C-alpha cells in the first residue's frame, strides 16, 4: 500500500504538467484559427471577392454545364463561328434576346435593338463584366463591334413567372414560406451587393414598377435569384457630391420612391433640369413591394410578413435618409429566417412561451 501511494505521488506531477500543456495547446490552436479566420475575412472583403462564387473561374473565363475546365470569354470570331441562334425569346427597349446553342449547351444571345441606345447597351456590358459574382448572371462572351452579349441560359426565366413556376407539379414542393423567404433574401443580397459593389454604390434604375423590377432578375434551376439586366446602373458618389436620376422623364406612382417623383405639383410642368437627384435609398423603398410578391400567399407567409413589418415600415420612410441600409434589411431578413426555422423545428415552443 505504501509503495502504491509513493508511486501515485511520484507520477502525479507529470500528469498535471501534461494536462496544462494540452490545455495550452488547445488554446493556441483556437487562437490560431481565430486569427486565420480574421485574416481571410479581411482579405476577401478588402479584395472585393467576398460575394464571389468560389465555383467561378478567374476574371475573363467561364465554366458551363459539366465542363470542368475554364474557357476564356468568347470573342467576336468565336461567337460568329460557334454560336447558333435558335429562336427569339424576348425583346426590350435596348436588347433583343435569342435562345441559342454553343457546343450543345443552351445559351442566351442578346443584341442591340437600335443604335440610338448603344451607350446603354455598352454600359450594361461594362457592368456585367465588372460585377461577375454569385449575384450576377454568368457572362460567356461579348462582341462590342457587333453589340452582342452571350450569357448563361436559365430555363425558368425571369422572376415575373415565379408564381406560375411554383404552381407546376414539378415544383410544388418548393412553394413554401421557407423557400420564398430565401428568394427574398437573395433579392436583398443583390441590392446590398450593388450598393457596396467593387465599382462603388450603384442604383438599380430599371425599377419604375413591380413588373419591370421582376423582369431584371432570373430564377435559377436550383431556386436562387440572379440579376440579369444591368443597363441602367448609375453610380452614387456622396464624397464627390454625385447623385443620380433614373432617366429623364417624369416618374409617377406609389412604387417609385417619393424623392423620385416631381416635387413641384401639377401646376408646374415637369422639367428634367429642375428635378432634384437622389441616392441608392430609392432601392430600399421598393424592397417591401418586391418581397411581398416573392413571399406570395402560402401557409406561413403571413407570419413572415408580421416579423418583417417593422423593417418594411422603416423602408417606407418618406425621408430617404431615415430608411435602413440594404445591409440592415438583409441582416433582419436572415434573423427572421433563423428564428422561424427554429420555431418550425420545435412546433411546441411557441405554446410553451
| Three-state DSSP class for residue 227 | strand
Mean pLDDT of the chain: 88
Q: In the chain, pLDDT over 90 holds for what percent of residues?
A: 75
Residue 50 has pLDDT above 50, yes or no: no
User: Cα(134)–Cα(115) distance, rounded to whole angstroms?
Assistant: 31
**Sheet strands (E) in 68-144:** 71-72, 83-91, 95-102, 105-112, 139-143
Look up cell 407539379; give the residue. Answer: 169
Of the listed ranges 45-59, 102-116, 134-148, 171-185, the one predicted with least confidence: 45-59
Q: Comparing 54 with 63, which gets the higher pLDDT?
A: 63
Mean pLDDT of 305-312: 98
Q: What is the pLDDT of residue 278?
A: 97
| Three-state DSSP class for residue 99 | strand
CA-closest candidate to residue 298, choices 191, 173, 212:
173
Residues 112-125 pLDDT 10s: 999 899 999 999 99
Q: What is the pLDDT of residue 93?
A: 84
Q: Taking the chain, what is the end-to-end CA distance rounded to the nearest angstrom?
A: 58
- Write down the number of H helices and E strands in the chain: 11, 11
Q: In the chain, pLDDT over 70 holds for what percent of residues?
A: 83
CB distance 135 to 123 below 8 Å: no
Q: What is the pLDDT of residue 48?
A: 39
Using 50, 70 and 90 to split pLDDT, how confident is the model at 92?
confident
Q: Which helix (H) or strand (E) holds 344?
A: helix 326-345
Residue 40 has pLDDT above 50, yes or no: no
Q: What is the pLDDT of residue 227?
A: 97
Residue 252 has pLDDT above 70, yes or no: yes
Domains plus CATH for the chain? 70-152 (3.30.200.20), 157-341 (1.10.510.10)
Q: What is the pLDDT of residue 29?
A: 55
Using 50, 70 and 90 to split pLDDT, how confident is the model at 44?
very low
Q: What is the pLDDT of residue 42?
A: 43
CA angle 247, 252, 253 (to 5 degrees): 135
Residues 137-168 pLDDT 10s: 999 999 999 999 999 999 999 999 999 999 99
Per the DSSP assignment, residues forming a β-bridge with 72 are 61
Residue 316 has pLDDT above 70, yes or no: yes
Q: Comparing 40 with 59, which gets the higher pLDDT?
A: 59
User: Cα(85)–Cα(118) distance, rounded to whole angstroms?
Assistant: 21
Q: What is the pLDDT of residue 53?
A: 61
User: Cα(62)–Cα(67) distance, rounded to whole angstroms?
Assistant: 10
CA atoms lying within 13 Å on the CB side of residue 329: 31
Residue 290 has pLDDT above 50, yes or no: yes
CB distance 323 to 317 below 8 Å: yes
Hey, what's the cell of 246?
A: 433614373
- Output the CA–CA distances (angstroms, integers) from residue 67 to 206, 253, 260, 278, 311, in the order listed: 34, 47, 46, 45, 43
Residue 1 has pLDDT above 70, yes or no: no
Q: What is the pLDDT of residue 272?
A: 95
Mean pLDDT of 240-267: 94
Q: What is the pLDDT of residue 321?
A: 96
Hey, what's the cell of 183?
A: 428568394
Q: What is the pLDDT of residue 151?
A: 97
Q: What is the pLDDT of residue 9?
A: 46
Residue 7 has pLDDT above 60, yes or no: no
Mean pLDDT of 338-350: 80
CB distance 188 to 302 below 8 Å: no
User: Cα(35)–Cα(284) distance, rounded to whole angstroms?
Assistant: 35
CA-closest candidate to residue 149, choices 205, 107, 191, 114:
107
Say what the alpha-carbon torsion angle 303, 305, 306, 312 is, to the nearest 10 degrees. Answer: 160
Residues 93-106 pLDDT 10s: 899 999 999 999 99
Query: At CB < 8 A and 24+ separation, what contacts does 26-35 make?
Result: none
* pTM (two decimals): 0.82
Q: Which helix (H) or strand (E) holds 252?
A: none
Residue 46 has pLDDT above 50, yes or no: no
User: Cα(219)–Cα(205) distance, rounded to whole angstroms?
Assistant: 20
Amino acid at each position: 500500500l505504501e509503495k502504491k501511494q509513493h508511486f501515485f505521488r511520484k507520477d502525479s506531477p507529470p500528469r498535471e504538467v501534461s494536462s496544462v500543456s494540452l490545455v495550452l495547446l488547445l488554446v493556441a490552436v483556437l487562437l490560431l484559427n481565430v486569427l486565420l479566420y480574421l485574416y481571410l475575412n479581411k482579405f476577401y472583403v478588402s479584395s472585393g471577392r467576398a460575394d464571389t462564387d468560389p465555383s467561378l473561374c478567374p476574371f475573363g473565363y467561364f465554366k458551363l454545364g459539366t465542363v470542368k475546365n475554364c474557357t476564356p470569354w468568347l470573342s467576336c470570331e468565336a461567337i460568329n463561328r460557334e454560336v447558333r441562334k435558335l429562336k427569339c425569346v424576348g425583346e426590350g427597349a435596348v436588347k433583343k434576346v435569342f435562345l441559342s446553342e454553343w457546343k450543345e449547351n443552351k445559351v442566351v444571345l442578346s443584341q442591340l435593338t437600335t443604335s440610338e441606345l448603344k451607350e446603354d447597351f455598352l454600359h450594361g456590358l461594362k457592368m456585367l463584366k465588372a460585377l461577375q459574382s454569385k449575384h450576377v448572371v454568368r457572362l460567356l462572351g461579348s462582341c462590342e463591334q457587333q453589340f452582342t452579349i452571350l450569357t448563361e441560359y436559365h430555363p425558368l426565366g425571369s422572376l415575373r413567372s415565379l408564381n406560375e413556376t411554383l404552381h407546376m407539379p414539378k415544383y410544388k414542393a418548393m412553394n413554401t414560406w421557407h423557400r420564398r423567404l430565401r428568394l427574398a433574401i437573395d433579392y436583398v443580397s443583390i441590392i446590398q451587393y450593388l450598393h457596396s459593389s467593387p465599382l462603388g454604390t450603384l442604383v438599380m434604375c430599371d425599377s419604375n414598377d413591380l413588373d419591370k423590377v421582376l423582369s431584371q432578375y432570373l430564377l435559377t434551376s436550383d431556386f436562387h435569384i440572379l440579376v440579369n439586366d444591368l443597363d441602367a446602373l448609375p453610380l452614387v458618389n456622396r464624397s464627390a457630391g454625385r447623385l443620380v436620376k433614373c432617366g429623364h422623364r417624369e416618374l409617377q406612382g406609389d412604387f417609385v420612391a417619393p424623392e423620385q417623383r416631381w416635387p413641384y405639383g401639377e401646376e408646374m410642368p415637369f422639367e428634367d433640369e429642375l428635378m432634384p437627384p437622389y441616392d441608392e435609398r430609392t432601392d430600399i423603398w421598393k424592397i417591401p413591394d418586391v418581397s411581398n410578391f416573392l413571399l406570395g400567399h402560402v401557409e406561413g407567409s403571413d407570419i413572415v410578413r408580421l416579423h418583417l413589418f417593422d423593417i418594411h415600415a422603416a423602408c417606407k420612410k418618406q425621408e430617404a435618409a431615415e430608411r435602413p441600409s440594404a445591409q440592415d434589411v438583409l441582416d433582419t431578413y436572415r434573423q427572421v429566417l433563423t428564428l422561424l426555422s427554429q420555431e418550425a423545428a420545435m412546433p411546441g415552443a411557441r405554446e410553451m412561451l
